[in-house]
Structure 1
Amino acid sequence: MKAHAIMIALPYQGHLNPFVDLATKLASKGITVTFVNTEHAHHQIASSQEIPDAGLDIFAAAALDIRYATISDGFPLDFDRDLNFIEYWESFLRDFPSRVAEFVGDIISSSDPSMPPFLVSDTFAAWPAMVAQKFGLVNVSFWTQPATEFAINYHLDLLKQNGHYPPTKDDEQMINYIPGVAPISTKDLMSHLQESDVTIVQEIVFKSFKEVVKADFILHNTVQEVEPHTLSVLNQKQATYAIGPINFSTKCSVPKSLRHQVDCSEWLEARPHGSVLYVSFGSIAQTNRQVIQEIAHGLVVSGVSFIWAIRPQIVMDDDGDVLPCGFEENVKDRGLVLQWSDQLSVLSSPAVGGFLTHCGWNSILESVWCGVPMICYPILYDQPTNRKLVVDDWKIGINLCDGESVGKEEVAEKINKVMSGEASDCIMKNLKEMRTKLHDAWKENGSSQINFDRFLRDLNDKI
């Protein structure tokens, strides 16, 4: 029996990337996939590829049974979704679910009745349980962050019972009662759990985790050997499968960047082995102008070669150039500043010897996959907890700053520590071991390969 996966993506780069990779993996296993992007995300990808919207099927070259479609998010293409984040997500929570239900109904009514459909959604979606119940669909939830953070969100009730949410004290406290999670400081919790006032991000996360308890299966973009205890405990609650890093599970090349990527391969090829620092704070996180300027001054002082991806609106008061006056002229012989790049292509270059990162989960997986040590500067969302995993638990990176503020002298010191090879032998040993775990996971008889096949068998029994 051939099943039919209906997948509706969240329109954010960090979620879209693994979701596309999951689609190609499902299709490579013989499942028919209908993959749905929002019209705006589709437009962004088409623009990044410099082709007309109507001429783009992102899966056209994959040679797999994937049908590509788009759905309106309820806003015109020129509406600034980042600037109007609250308005956008209020609508996404309130209005988008009914739009999805109608869209899924149309897909089902026009599909081959011999292929039973099932729903695959990002855990952060607000509609899966309602849509799955309405159409009698098996409900598969895909978590794109570490299992540790899933477990913390999953046990919000325990945080409330113990007085750690909403936060009431400024002093740092240890949390040691969350099943499957090693003791963690309140300062290392995800940013939405450190905020006293109710925010739209909290609404998104809390609604998502009310929904996810109704899922039939939960897929995690992590590796069994990396988070074994957490995954084992979660599996006692719901059917849980570690299938990461999904980003490297197939060799299909699918255009999915929401921004135009600058090719810097020629620039990298001219640099010595391990001499280049890559700097990127991801696709959505914003910091302040002072942080960017201190990092810029620190790069000047360090003397290292670097590539720095500085996207528009990276600072909250963006009014043009955020770099210090004369910075690019000062570093032109050893620095390349661009808006966006193919991050995996950069990290996989032999010339790259370090990664100054915001600690997004995709960035961490890519850095480990390529064996590149990290300098960590988390900003918000899952990033503080990811930093804790990278620096404190797995010991595969260092902090950019050990105090409260970023200063150019410490920036230069930390950069040179990593780029000169001063990063401890322990960090490189741990990084090598974790890299092996990631690479082995999708080999024949690797844990992620086994877990994915087990998921498919369990899915087949369920539908």
Structure 2
Amino acid sequence: MENNHQKPHALMMTYPLQGHVVPSVHLAMKLASRGFTITFVNTQFIHQQITKSCHHNHDPKAEDIFAGARKSGLDIRYATVSDGFPLGFDRSLHHDQFMEGLLHVFSAHADELVGKLAASEPPVNCLIVDTFFVWSSMICEKYNLVNISFWTEPALVLTLYYHLDLLRINGHFGAQDNQEDAIDYVPGVRSIQRKDLASYLQSANTRTVVHRIIYKAFEDVKKADMIICNAVQELEPDTLSALQKKQPVYAIGPIFPTGFAKSPVATSLWSESDCTEWLGAKPSGSVLYISFGSYAHASKQVIWEIAYGLLLSEVSFIWVLRPDIVSSDESEPLPPGFGDQIKGKGLVVPWCCQIEVLSHSSIGGFLTHCGWNSILESIWCCVPMLCFPLLTDQFTNRKLVVDDWGIGVNLRDKKSVTREEVGQKIRRLMIGGLADERRKKVREVRKTLDNALGPNGSSEKNLNDFINDMKVKIASNKQ
């Protein structure tokens, strides 16, 4: 039995997109603080983006984002791996080409690195990688590692991808003419409309590179020894119980930095503007925060309608507008003269530290693309949401926020959005009786998160179970 007490050494590899990097880094810290040795792997490109955004322009190899965490006693090593493309390649502009590389080429680079680390001291004995990677079972079998899949989105999205075959059989996915009736046959999902499925499950073309990644990844996840997810048992009880009947699934969310403070580990791919002084001059609960996340694009027309809607609403706002929000080769997404019209009323920045802004007392609402990290952070800060999903899981996440938990408002009722609707919905989110009701609701959901992370909470208990089960699995792998 002695083996059981050997420290687990986990190799963690994060999917090379901002929304996946953040929870992976915080998970690494959480596990390291529970006595794991972690070797954390970023792609060289993500590493370069992070170091660039920290304004350190000396040798990137000398940079180690976990140096601060190690000073505080955590055993986290850091490595980088090529994603198969040159560093200067524009991954946002050539999205599909980049994804083809992740599907076909990246596994060879990952395999080589894992092989080296499997032979290191102490040897790696488990692999924790993002569910969207398509190669983890192959590599775990090759090096005899415990295979742990890390899911960074809600359990509802996981279960819908997991049961793709059911959606297909019932004509809700991949048919010439998809059914539009409610989907009520997925285990653990009471009923869901087609418009609330992830965008890839709604699209007519089901042979894109992202679809092929999804098919392969969700075949592969069924071979995982365990799945950990950034979800909360009490927020999605039926969905998680149904999944747990199929495979060991541990809901350990929300995965935040300790104390929800700015993390000692740099995770941002862009340099962050400091908005604290500007926010400090505004009354409590008066400012709308707007961000469409790190990945999805929006058309110029949508950006203009939102801009004019903000002016109509007369509400103060901070708007995070990534330089490539429309496209890498479109440098001016905002309407002409917008900057002059918002003097003193609005602030537009290319990127910021989101948890710092959301936790500021002057923020009263969040116009969000409904990325899962953004939703969890918004709930934690008790900020109700105006939902404007753009891509992937965001449509399903919106359903949870607006329909299931009642802590948000829909902005996208129709296919296109108008400035009048934007202006009205912003006011409805920020001002009046309904706004107060939603704030009360979001405080209740925040309490659920709090309880889950408490000493006797479900996420804490699930994390302990996961660690114990994993140690047992590592020991039996050695036999």
Partner of 1:163: 171
Q: Would you say the 8 A contact 1:48–1:258 is kept in 2? A: yes
Aligned mates of 1:305, 1:360 — CA distance in 2: 23
Aligned mates of 2:430, 2:439 — CA distance in 1: 12
1:365 aligns with 2:376: yes
Q: Unpaired runs of 5+ in structure 2?
A: 1-5, 475-479
1:273-292 correspondence runs (5 A): 273-292=284-303
User: RMSD of the TM alignment (CA)?
Assistant: 1.4
Match of 1:126 among 109, 129, 134: 134
Q: Would you say the 8 A contact 1:347–1:372 is kept in 2? A: yes
Match of 1:29 among 29, 34, 37: 34
Q: Would you say the 8 A contact 1:401–1:411 is kept in 2? A: no
1:246 alignment partner, SS class:
coil
Amino acid aligned to 1:105: G
Q: Unpaired runs of 5+ in structure 1?
A: none
1:17 aligns with 2:22: yes
Q: Residues 146, 132 of structure 1: CA spacing in aligned structure 2 closer, same or farther, 3 A cutoff? A: same
Aligned mates of 2:246, 2:252 — CA distance in 1: 18
1:312-331 correspondence runs (5 A): 312-316=323-327, 318-331=329-342
The 4+ residue runs of structure 1 with deviation greater than 4 A are 248-252
1:229 aligns with 2:238: yes
Match of 1:139 among 141, 147, 154: 147
Q: Residues 273, 426 of structure 1: CA spacing in aligned structure 2 closer, same or farther, 3 A cutoff? A: closer
1:167, CA displacement in angstroms?
4.2
Aligned residues: 461
1:8 aligns with 2:19: no
Percent identity of equivalent pairs: 52
Q: Residues 401, 118 of structure 1: CA spacing in aligned structure 2 closer, same or farther, 3 A cutoff? A: closer
1:454, CA displacement in angstroms?
0.6
Q: Would you say the 8 A contact 1:277–1:356 is kept in 2? A: yes
1:376 aligns with 2:384: no
1:89, CA displacement in angstroms?
1.4
Q: Would you say the 8 A contact 1:276–1:307 is kept in 2? A: yes
Aligned mates of 1:422, 1:254 — CA distance in 2: 40
Q: Would you say the 8 A contact 1:31–1:65 is kept in 2? A: yes
Q: Residues 403, 89 of structure 1: CA spacing in aligned structure 2 closer, same or farther, 3 A cutoff? A: closer
TM-score of the aligned structures, taking structure 1 as reference length = 0.97
Aligned mates of 2:178, 2:235 — CA distance in 1: 32
Q: Residues 171, 416 of structure 1: CA spacing in aligned structure 2 closer, same or farther, 3 A cutoff? A: farther
Aligned mates of 1:248, 1:163 — CA distance in 2: 42
Aligned mates of 1:98, 1:55 — CA distance in 2: 25
1:410-421 correspondence runs (5 A): 410-421=421-432
Aligned mates of 1:316, 1:49 — CA distance in 2: 24
Partner of 2:99: 89
1:22-421 correspondence runs (5 A): 22-51=27-56, 52=58, 53-62=60-69, 63=72, 64-113=74-123, 117-169=125-177, 172-197=180-205, 198-248=207-257, 253-316=264-327, 318-421=329-432
Please list the CA deviations of residues 9-63 of structure 1 after superposition, one character each: whole Å capped at 9, or x if unmatched.
1111100000001100110000000001100100000000011313321111112
Q: Would you say the 8 A contact 1:401–1:410 is kept in 2? A: no
Please list the CA deviations of residues 98-119 of structure 1 after superposition, one character each: whole Å capped at 9, or x if unmatched.
2111110101212225xx6110
Aligned mates of 1:395, 1:70 — CA distance in 2: 42
Aligned mates of 1:179, 1:171 — CA distance in 2: 19
1:404, CA displacement in angstroms?
2.4
Q: Residues 404, 86 of structure 1: CA spacing in aligned structure 2 closer, same or farther, 3 A cutoff? A: closer
1:429, CA displacement in angstroms?
3.0
1:418, CA displacement in angstroms?
1.4
Q: Would you say the 8 A contact 1:179–1:230 is kept in 2? A: yes
TM-score of the aligned structures, taking structure 2 as reference length = 0.94
